[in-house]
């Protein structure tokens, strides 16, 4: 479980997060929603150590994450799939996965096989450079690379960005499956609220860096005022 308490983050004079508090329970998908500039990406970057908070705490089980280096946080079992996917285009599919497996405690070939079974297209393209993959395939590779390290927490930043609706649906299905089968704690940042709320158990809505709602996804879906004010049209 990840517990975020009173987290504030600034970029110079601009305050991106203001005393944000919420819990992401183990085995649960927590969606973080909000408009552009709400602070969603900053929140994930702070959890994974890329951004240092001005104040507040982040704990993963008994470990404090705030102000730790990203590499140490990754070694504690936090996998972060950044916005724009972050696959290394100059590497082959397999090299990207080998890099992800660096921290894994399982045998490399077993890990690779597991990911190729989960995402068969990656198996077919294992020797191809990531630059040659489509947007959906790159997203699968980024997910597979994070999963091969066997994280206990998965941070997903806008996984549906730029993907066709069918690919997005398939991806969300995979996230849901992973959460159920592996007991992963997932924090899913999405601008597309409908997509996220369809699979999330819990949701946090950010508005200008503040938490304006923090509740079960079903309750947020049912709250028309909340949806209209902060999420726009949710189908």
Partner 1 sequence: MDAFLTSRIISDILGGLTNGVIYGLVALSLVLVWRSTGILNFAQGAMPMIATYLGMVVFAHRLGYWPLVAISIVAGFGVGGVTERVLVRHLYGKPEINPIVVMVGFLIVLEGVAAAIWSTTPRGIPNPFSPIDWQLGGKPIALSPFSVYEIVTALVVMSGVAVLFRFTKLGLQLRASALAPEVSRLLGVRVSRMLTLGWILSTGVGTICTVLVASNFFTGLTPQVMDGIFAFGFIAAAVGGLDSPVGAIVAGVSMGIVLQFVGDFVNSNAIIITALIILIVSLMVRPNGLFTKSTARRV
Interface contacts to partner 1, rule CB under 8 A: 48-50, 69-71, 74-75, 79-80, 82, 86-88, 90-91, 95, 98-100, 102-103, 145, 149
For the chain, helix, strand, coil in percent to 5 are 40, 25, 30
In the block, tokens 């079992």 appear at: 77
Q: Least distance to partner 1 from the beta carbon of 86, Å?
A: 4
- Sheet of strand 185-190, all strands in order from the earlier edge strand to the far edge: 78-81, 153-157, 185-190, 29-33, 202-207, 210-216
Q: Least distance to partner 1 from the beta carbon of 70, Å?
A: 4
Q: Least distance to partner 1 from the beta carbon of 35, Å?
A: 25
* Nearer residue to partner 1 within complex by CB, 85 or 227: 85
Question: How far, rounded to the nearest angstrom, does the alpha carbon of residue 7 sit from its chain's CA centroid?
Answer: 18
* Nearer residue to partner 1 within complex by CB, 125 or 145: 145
- Asked whether 130 and 94 are in contact (CB, 8 A), the reply is no
* Nearer residue to partner 1 within complex by CB, 16 or 154: 154
Q: How far apart are CA 102 and CA 145, in angstroms?
A: 10
* Nearer residue to partner 1 within complex by CB, 35 or 104: 104
Q: Least distance to partner 1 from the beta carbon of 193, Å?
A: 26
* Nearer residue to partner 1 within complex by CB, 104 or 212: 104
Q: Least distance to partner 1 from the beta carbon of 220, Å?
A: 29
> What are the DSSP calls for 116-172, one per residue?
HHHSHHHHHTTTSBGGGS-HHHHHHHHHHHHHTT--SEEEEESTTTT--HHHHHHHH
Q: Least distance to partner 1 from the beta carbon of 41, Å?
A: 13
Tell me the three state secondary structure of residue 112: helix
Angle at 96 (CA atoms; ends 93, 99), nearest 5 degrees: 150
* Nearer residue to partner 1 within complex by CB, 109 or 166: 109
């Amino acid at each position: 479980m990840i517990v975020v308490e009173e987290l504030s983050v600034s970029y110079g004079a601009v305050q991106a997060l203001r005393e944000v508090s919420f819990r992401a329970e183990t085995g649960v998908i927590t969606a973080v929603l909000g408009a552009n500039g709400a602070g969603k990406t900053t929140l994930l970057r702070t959890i994974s150590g890329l951004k240092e908070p001005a104040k507040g705490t982040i704990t993963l089980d008994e470990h404090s994450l705030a102000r730790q280096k990203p590499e140490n946080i990754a070694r504690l079992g936090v996998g972060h799939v950044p916005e724009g996917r972050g696959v290394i285009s100059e590497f082959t599919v397999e090299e990207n996965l080998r890099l992800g497996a660096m921290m894994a405690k399982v045998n490399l070939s077993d890990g690779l096989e597991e990911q190729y079974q989960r995402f068969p297209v990656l198996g077919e393209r294992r020797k191809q450079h990531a630059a040659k993959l489509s947007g959906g395939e790159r997203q699968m590779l980024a997910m597979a690379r994070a999963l091969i390290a066997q994280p206990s927490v998965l941070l997903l930043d806008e996984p549906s960005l730029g993907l066709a609706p069918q690919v997005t649906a398939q991806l969300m299905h995979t996230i849901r499956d992973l959460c159920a089968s592996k007991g992963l704690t997932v924090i899913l940042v999405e601008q597309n609220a409908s997509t996220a709320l369809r699979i999330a158990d819990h949701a946090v809505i950010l508005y200008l860096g503040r938490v304006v709602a923090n509740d079960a996804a079903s309750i947020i879906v049912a709250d028309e005022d909340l949806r209209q004010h902060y999420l726009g049209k949710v189908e």
